Homo-oligomer: A and B are copies of this chain.
Amino acid sequence: VTSVSAPPRRRARSPRGKGDLLREEILAAAERILIDSNDQSAVSIRAIASAVGVTPPSIYLHFADRTELLFAVCERQAALLHEAMANSAAGVDDPLERMRLRGLAYLHWGLQNPEHYRILMMSRPDCTPDRFVDERLADTAGLLPVIQDLVAAGAEEAVEVSKLLWMMMHGMVSLLISKPDFPFEPAEQIYDRLFEVARRGLNPPVDDA
């Protein structure tokens, strides 16, 4: 009698040249666990191995250690975030509206992937790939040209402003994630206000003192 009620089913071994298939399955399982548990620490080598239907040491055939595995998950998700933002503004020409849409996409992505957001943006520096510390991050919104128009200033200032915007967005997203029971207004409403504050606050004063 073959075991009928054995949930930890065993994964079939990959054919000869296709060892890399397991790598993909590992990453997929890690992401699923991360999403389901909403807890980075639940994404253990053993949990992943068991989800994939494989023994723990097999993981080491494809990743040097747990850190590298988590980093790989991060990179994937970061790419998805950038993609989501790009898509949201596709075909829109008005720079201000592009900015609004990209920010909105950032917000939605963060709220829908809280634990990914947490790893990417909120975790201790040593738990995050170094590559996530580059200027690109602040330009996460891809805003530089837009901002340049907005503040009517040089490229240098545009970079500074993009960091300010990032901070504002991040403050909103991360608080919504960390304090889900706090009586915040609906996310979209907050975003509208925040966007207005940024737009008005960054514009040169109307009365040029």
Listed in ascending order, the chain A residues whose CB lies under 8 Å from chain B are 39, 121-125, 130, 132-135, 137-138, 160, 163-164, 166-172, 174-175, 178-185, 190, 193-194, 196-203, 205-207
Given A175-B167, A175-B170, A178-B124, check contact A135 B183 (CB 8 Å).
Answer: yes
Given A201-B196, A206-B207, check contact A121 B178 (CB 8 Å).
Answer: yes
Contact (Cβ within 8 A) A160 B193: yes
| Cα of A166 to Cα of B184 in the assembled complex, Å | 11
Task: Classify the interface of chain A: helix, strand, loop or mixed.
Answer: helix
Contact (Cβ within 8 A) A185 B160: yes
Residues of B within 8 A of A135 (CB): 183
9 contacts between A and B (CB under 8 A): A39-B124, A125-B178, A133-B179, A163-B185, A167-B171, A167-B175, A167-B190, A200-B205, A201-B202
Residues of B within 8 A of A166 (CB): 171, 175
| Cα of A168 to Cα of B165 in the assembled complex, Å | 9
| Cα of A183 to Cα of B138 in the assembled complex, Å | 10
What is the minimal beta-carbon distance from A158 to any residue of chain B, in angstroms? 13
Contact (Cβ within 8 A) B182 A172: no
Residues of B within 8 A of A168 (CB): 167-168, 171
In the complex formed, the residue of B with least CB distance to A157 is B193
Q: A123-B178, A135-B183, A201-B202 are in contact. List 16 more A-B contacts (CB 8 A).
A: A122-B178, A125-B178, A130-B181, A133-B179, A133-B181, A137-B182, A160-B193, A163-B185, A163-B190, A166-B171, A167-B168, A170-B171, A170-B175, A171-B171, A171-B172, A206-B207
